[in-house]
Amino acid sequence: MDAVMRPSATAAAAGAAAAAAPGMWGFFAVGLVGMACAIAWLLRRYAAPSVPCIVLAATAYAWAVSMSIVLITPMDAWAALKHQPERGISILWRITYWSTQALTWLALPFFQVYSDAGDFTVGGRCLTSLKENGLLYGLAGAAGAVGLTVILVYERTLALSDLPALGMALSNTFGLSAGILLMGYGLVEIPREMWKSDPGHLLKWCAHRAGRFAEDVLRTTNELESVVTIIVANDKQMPRRDPLRPYMAAISTAAEQESPVKPSSVVAAGYDMDSLAADDLEYNYDKAGLAALRRRLAAAIHDFKGAHAQYEEVIRQALDQEAIIKCRQLGVYEPPGLAAGEAGLRANAVRALWRWRCVGQPVARKVMAALLVCFSGCVVWSEATIFTGGDPDLSPFSRAIRGSLGSEWGLQLLVMMPLAYICICTYFALFRINAFNYNKLLPRTTTGAALMQNGSLMARFAAPTCWNLLHVVHMDGVIDEQGGTTVFTQNMGTMTVLPVLGKHLNTYLPLLLVVHCLLIWLRLWDRLAGACVSSKYKFDNDDVDDQYTEKGRLLIRKEGEALANGLRIGEILAADDLELQLPGLTGRKRMKKNKPWFNFGRQQGGASSSTAAGSAGASSSTADGAAGASSSSSSAAAASRSERVPMLQLFTGRSEGDGEARGGLLSSLMNNKHGTNASPPESDADSGRSGTGLDGIFAQINTTGQQGRGRPSARMQ
């Protein structure tokens, strides 16, 4: 349906554009060409090769409609001031605005979870996406229903026809509130970061990030190795005729083809099943467990590749800064990698570019920083004077726009410049928050879910940002004696049905931007945030000198030596003596993720819930015996689950006639806080032999299988 509607919507927009004055659309047409080039470049640079075409198309469409709203704003301002025909702009606005709302609140969240799910069928992925999104939107819907009831009681004049305007007001409230916070950070930090052009400072920032990213590389490598080992263990435990064998084989094949750590290499190197936790061996109980394992594998591969890409990028930046510092100290600006005395057009261009980076770029950055400080000051001042309503007109942007009515392109450029700067500040801050590392755009390693998350964020903030700019330039209402209004005002002005959200919020909330920017400028925000919330919600700060910086300096030096010896960036992180040289960087246990409780009652096929806690080793042994009795896969599968641990021992850890409880399923449930996608903390070395917990149960089951049948244990040494 969406694919059918898009061409018709595009044709309608094109027809509306043709009906308008041709000159008014020149700026918009040039912007569309630039937008298409930018989207193509972003997808080519950041999308991973494995991202499906449908995901690329959805992301491109989200970026396109978001950028289109930004491009419409200057044209809308010009048409309102010059009283030009606005029918085409109105149609285009409705298409782009409601597309962004549908994408950011419905379509992209659904497809984001869909692409990230590990289910083996389309229906399974859809169900997983509906479940995960349904919980969030169910709570939001319940809160919205309560709020709507309160609003209807408070504002008795509201009618059902006002609900679209009310929904628009709520969406704009979220976008404006979050956008003001993000924009304030960017308004201060972009000029500050631009001012810090000294190569020594930039090298220190690279060293800090190198230390952090190296830890991420080791953590993600450890997780990927653990996941691949778990896949191998579950694959070995599953009987050949198990109905779930095709799904397990699909996971093993995907790991062999896509994972940098291959299951075949894990098998060749040998692995110890005693090192695995009990939950690690329970993925193969049912299809839901295998889907969770498949999803965990995909996440581990993505994290591994992303961490390596970030580490390699920052190391290259650091080595470049070291070379620049050395050239500036010696006064010899010969670029690295270029043979001395090499001539030609290419060599001369490389030398000129390198000299610019060493000499001209630091000066240019400081000049640009000074200009950006002035620009940020104008934005803050204009935001703080919105409440005047243009009488008097204290906004420098508003005065400049109204003073350029004689130039169509000049006026649209004057509208676009502050709007583009505000958008840059907002998205700059969004990706500097530590909590949002999952949606970073990483070169050639960004997954489809991360791409769609970026598209969703762009769509969420586009319209509120443009509406805020029209308030900044005092074009949010009637703009002259002739009653001229913008298309934005004609549509978003209906939000005044609820004045507290539709009018007062847009007028007075930007006043907080002054206080917010002052806190950031004095570096008080991180101190307040550190005292109130988790550090992951703090912004990245480039003025750091901590343990990561010291480790990063050593890593940069070692990576430079390794490159000189023909090694690749990142290979030194696999060195055996890395822990001796960088204490604490690698000496950590396997990282765990907090997940929901594991469902021990999952059914397998048509089996009852009592089959949920059977041992994989016992199942394998039983399946082998059943295979000799019958060649039917169904009978073999049934036989593989027919022999179970005695229920008394399973649930209480006590065998019949045994007076001492050694821990069973119920006690494990009381202690277990992890789900299908994680492992519990490592227990003591003797826990598997002492008979306590699930490890003890598995050990007893395997021992019973060896004594009773003479078969080898499922735990490989």
**Nearest Cα residue to 461 out of 424, 490, 436:** 424
Pair 417, 19: CB distance under 8 Å: no
- The lowest-confidence range among 10-19, 276-285, 629-638 is 629-638
Please check the confidence at residue 632 and state whether its pLDDT lies above 60.
no
**Nearest Cα residue to 245 out of 655, 714, 634, 656:** 634
Task: Phi first, then psi: give them for residue 317, nearest 5 degrees.
Answer: -65, -40
Please check the confidence at residue 50 and state whether its pLDDT lies above 50.
yes
**Cα-to-chain-centroid distance, residue 200:** 31
Pair 49, 257: CB distance under 8 Å: no
Q: What is the pLDDT of residues 178-222, one digit of tens each?
A: 999 999 999 999 999 999 989 999 999 999 999 999 999 999 999
Query: Which pair of tokens denotes residue 413?
Result: 């450029």
pLDDT for the residue 23: 58
pLDDT for the residue 152: 73
**Nearest Cα residue to 541 out of 557, 525, 518:** 525
Q: What is the pLDDT of residues 394-413, one digit of tens each?
A: 999 999 999 988 888 999 99
Q: What is the pLDDT of residues 413-459, one digit of tens each?
A: 999 999 999 999 998 888 777 555 566 788 888 888 889 999 999 99
Summarize the confidence of residues 336-365 as an average pLDDT: 88
Please check the confidence at residue 158 and state whether its pLDDT lies above 60.
yes
Please check the confidence at residue 668 and state whether its pLDDT lies above 60.
no
Highest mean pLDDT among 128-142, 500-514, 583-597: 128-142
Q: How far apart are CA 545 and CA 540, in angstroms?
A: 13
Summarize the confidence of residues 63-78 as an average pLDDT: 94
pLDDT for the residue 273: 75
Please check the confidence at residue 41 and state whether its pLDDT lies above 50.
yes
Split at pLDDT 50, 70, 90, the class of 662 is: very low
pLDDT for the residue 545: 66
Summarize the confidence of residues 123-128 as an average pLDDT: 93
Summarize the confidence of residues 151-180 as an average pLDDT: 80
pLDDT for the residue 341: 73
Pair 288, 183: CB distance under 8 Å: no
Pair 387, 507: CB distance under 8 Å: yes
- For residue 11, the number of C-alpha atoms closer than 13 Å in the C-beta half-sphere is 5
Summarize the confidence of residues 608-620 as an average pLDDT: 38
Q: What is the pLDDT of residues 502-522, one digit of tens each?
A: 677 888 889 999 999 999 998
Q: What is the pLDDT of residues 535-548, one digit of tens each?
A: 555 555 555 667 88
Q: How far apart are CA 579 and CA 587, in angstroms?
A: 7
Kindly state the DSSP code that residue 22 receives in the 8-state scheme.
Answer: G
Summarize the confidence of residues 55-76 as an average pLDDT: 94
pLDDT above 70 coverage of the chain, percent = 72
pLDDT for the residue 25: 84
Fill in the amino acid letter for 184.
Answer: G
Instruction: State how far the alpha carbon of 532 is from the alpha carbons of 516, 520, 540, in Å.
Output: 16, 16, 17
Query: Which pair of tokens denotes residue 692?
Result: 């306590």
pLDDT for the residue 147: 76
pLDDT for the residue 686: 41
Q: What is the pLDDT of residues 238-288, one digit of tens each?
A: 998 999 999 999 999 999 999 999 999 888 888 777 778 888 888 988 999
pLDDT above 90 coverage of the chain, percent = 45
Higher pLDDT, 713 or 540: 540
Pair 297, 696: CB distance under 8 Å: no
Please check the confidence at residue 318 and state whether its pLDDT lies above 90.
yes
Per DSSP, the three-state class of 539 is strand
pLDDT for the residue 569: 92
- The lowest-confidence range among 145-154, 302-311, 486-495 is 145-154
Cis peptide before 392 (omega within 30 of 0): yes
**Nearest Cα residue to 563 out of 323, 203, 402:** 323
Summarize the confidence of residues 70-97 as an average pLDDT: 91
Please check the confidence at residue 324 and state whether its pLDDT lies above 90.
yes
Please check the confidence at residue 700 and state whether its pLDDT lies above 70.
no
Per DSSP, the three-state class of 433 is strand
Q: How far apart are CA 234 and CA 679, in angstroms?
A: 14
Query: How is the chain split into domains, by residue range?
Result: 592-717
Highest mean pLDDT among 129-143, 218-232, 545-559: 218-232
Per DSSP, the three-state class of 440 is coil
Please check the confidence at residue 304 and state whether its pLDDT lies above 90.
yes
pLDDT for the residue 100: 94
pLDDT for the residue 533: 57
pLDDT for the residue 558: 92
Pair 238, 245: CB distance under 8 Å: yes
- The lowest-confidence range among 147-161, 184-198, 262-276, 554-568 is 147-161
